[in-house]
Structure 1
């Protein structure tokens, strides 16, 4: 909705603002985790772990309030005025937009796997294998998220100038370049280098991927199936990439005898897949960003 409401020439910037919400969420979750971890173990296991979940109720209410107050987008209003309705949008996407669905899934797999590897898996790896204090990793995560809060909108603005496809592709190249550097810096066990590693991984590479992502992915589907197409791609890639990333990375770490080289290869392979997928995407200039009545749509005359 942020992209569809945005004025021409600024869709990337406005589309990056909801994406940037991940950064304060990551900061708050890291602070909450640090606070809960500071409790005596008995208290943490008995009731402390519930506190972050109770606090999240406030965020749910804020999200609900925003949703009910936001007007429908111009693209949606245009579709409603024309009387175009897709009865089964999932079937429409699978039948007529398979290519767009596959390239978005391929592109997002690397982004979501990168995030859960450098944020979730790295916490367990650093504290369990490297013996780095948990507080150091949480502080580094906060620093990385703070950087991303500013860089995501900047990458969105850059996408408005040079194309969101090219910014995203730069992020996939960043995975290839940063993956070995990230684990090397963690291996130093030095607080400063660890903070730099997370700032590079989250504040630069992840922001370069996630900042323009909403606008880029929105441009791959026409308005009448845009929400369904993006939702399918996000859920499939999230289940495969986000859900399995920590498990796969832990298994690869064990296969490497505690050396993360196989994890680096894993991330690099997904980075190449994402680079190729993004290259296959239509640029915003040629994409169907407005209304296109599909073959399965029912037209109603007011």
Structure 2
């Protein structure tokens, strides 16, 4: 009888463990899919800002000024991200991570679809740019809540020795969204004339996102709430003002995450957005050169992001992240040397090294690292706000600043390199000062 009870208990434990593992995987997959859809929307805008929006919404301007203006509307979305991060972070720490995931997806998808129906300058003049900025603000607000909610859900559901790996799934959603948006745009671009693309073809990828939003919503509605958050609720430990409590008790972690974010975001948008404009406008190569390099890099990202994240589970977050900051800082000048050869092969290799070998060493472990730096009560607020402020200070401005630096230096890239290297020094110092968190237990108050 005792043996049966023991055996039965083991069977129940085994079934519970299997169910738990299944939930881990479901949350990780849902985080990947939903994040991929949201970043599809976001990067599609970036691609069009680099290649088409100067002609559609700012045609009366000098081409250089029009490109900067288009990148300025791109930066507007980043300006809204800290606000979205604070609002979504507050409610995510108060009422749960899952609700925020669903709401952010609806907002992101709706604004993207609306851009697909937006009148251009030819129809309503300058008001087209105003409406574009408004929809871009909604996009930025939604993304401000998306990233933190997805990564915190994945990390809090994960087994303690695999938080880095599971936390990488929302990060994998980024190259997935980038790949999907780039492929869709490349297919649409290659299947019609430039005149048709500017007349109506550019709208197709934006409107098509409605199908993906519905799929993502279906997946996210089936998720369970974070067990760490549920445990906190049972103990009545929720903070009434998570963001304010985070600023009062964990301000140092916030400052470090902001600074650690600077380089990662800047190099990503330099390579994936600015380079599209640089390859066409300065190097005078076909736009497919940059698009195809990004497609290849996105595919490789499915391997490099989880690989770097898994390595952080083995040797620590700080070592992996520090390698990424130092190596990315040193690679900026060699990157432009390779690009300026005009060789398609060297440009592609440079993009892969910059994005996958080096950038992903920061971005892969970033989800788990930022999450672990904050306690449960303020985790979503802290990770969200730090991520969003760092993004607006670097990634949102990087393409515009790079274009301006290229202009004032008469096509020379040394100014861009110095700008990125300056951000690299800041991120490297912040990483050195941050504690390593890979063996921490996720509690309400993190170890100092």
What is the TM-score normalised by the length of structure 1? 0.92
Deviation string 1:112-168 (CA, Å, 9 cap, x unpaired) is 111110111111111101112111111111111111110100001100011112111
In 1, are the aligned partners of 2:184 and 2:205 still within 8 Å (CA)?
A: yes
Alpha-carbon distance change, 8 to 288 in structure 1, aligned in 2, over 3 angstroms: closer
1:191 to 318, 335, 344: 344
**Pairwise CA distance, 1:260:** 0.6
What secondary structure is seen at the aligned counterpart in 1 of 2:395?
Answer: helix
In 1, are the aligned partners of 2:405 and 2:416 still within 8 Å (CA)?
A: yes
Q: Which whole-Å CA distance do the structure 1 matches of 2:319 and 2:215 have between them?
A: 34
Q: Which residue of 2 aligns with 1:221?
A: 374
2:259 to 100, 106, 111: 106
Higher Rg: 2
In 2, are the aligned partners of 1:222 and 1:288 still within 8 Å (CA)?
A: no
What is the TM-score normalised by the length of structure 2? 0.63
2:166 to 14, 28, 40: 14
Ranges in structure 2 where 5+ consecutive residues have no aligned partner: 1-152
Q: Which residue of 2 aligns with 1:300?
A: none
In 1, are the aligned partners of 2:304 and 2:357 still within 8 Å (CA)?
A: yes
Ranges in structure 1 where 5+ consecutive residues have no aligned partner: 294-302
Q: Which whole-Å CA distance do the structure 2 matches of 1:157 and 1:170 have between them?
A: 15
In 1, are the aligned partners of 2:317 and 2:438 still within 8 Å (CA)?
A: no
What secondary structure is seen at the aligned counterpart in 2 of 1:153?
Answer: helix
Q: Which whole-Å CA distance do the structure 2 matches of 1:97 and 1:65 have between them?
A: 36
Deviation string 1:70-116 (CA, Å, 9 cap, x unpaired) is 21222112101111121111211222221111110101111111111
What secondary structure is seen at the aligned counterpart in 2 of 1:211?
Answer: helix
**Pairwise CA distance, 1:57:** 1.9
**Pairwise CA distance, 1:285:** 4.9
Greater helix percent: which structure?
A: 2
Deviation string 1:24-57 (CA, Å, 9 cap, x unpaired) is 2111111122123232233223321111112222
**Pairwise CA distance, 1:65:** 2.5
Q: Which residue of 1 aligns with 2:396?
A: 243
Correspondence 1:37 to 2:189 = yes
Q: Which whole-Å CA distance do the structure 1 matches of 2:424 and 2:433 have between them?
A: 14
Q: Which residue of 1 aligns with 2:177?
A: 25
Q: Which whole-Å CA distance do the structure 1 matches of 2:158 and 2:174 have between them?
A: 20
2:407 to 248, 251, 254: 254
Aligned alpha-carbon RMSD (Å): 1.6
Correspondence 1:62 to 2:235 = no
In 1, are the aligned partners of 2:279 and 2:289 still within 8 Å (CA)?
A: no
Q: Which residue of 2 aligns with 1:172?
A: 325
Q: Which whole-Å CA distance do the structure 1 matches of 2:271 and 2:241 have between them?
A: 38
Alignment of 1:88-237 (within 5 A): 88-237=241-390
Alpha-carbon distance change, 167 to 140 in structure 1, aligned in 2, over 3 angstroms: same
Correspondence 1:80 to 2:80 = no
Q: Which whole-Å CA distance do the structure 2 matches of 1:195 and 1:221 have between them?
A: 38
Runs in 1 of length 4+ with deviation above 4 angstroms?
Answer: 285-288
Aligned length: 293
Q: Which residue of 1 aligns with 2:142?
A: none
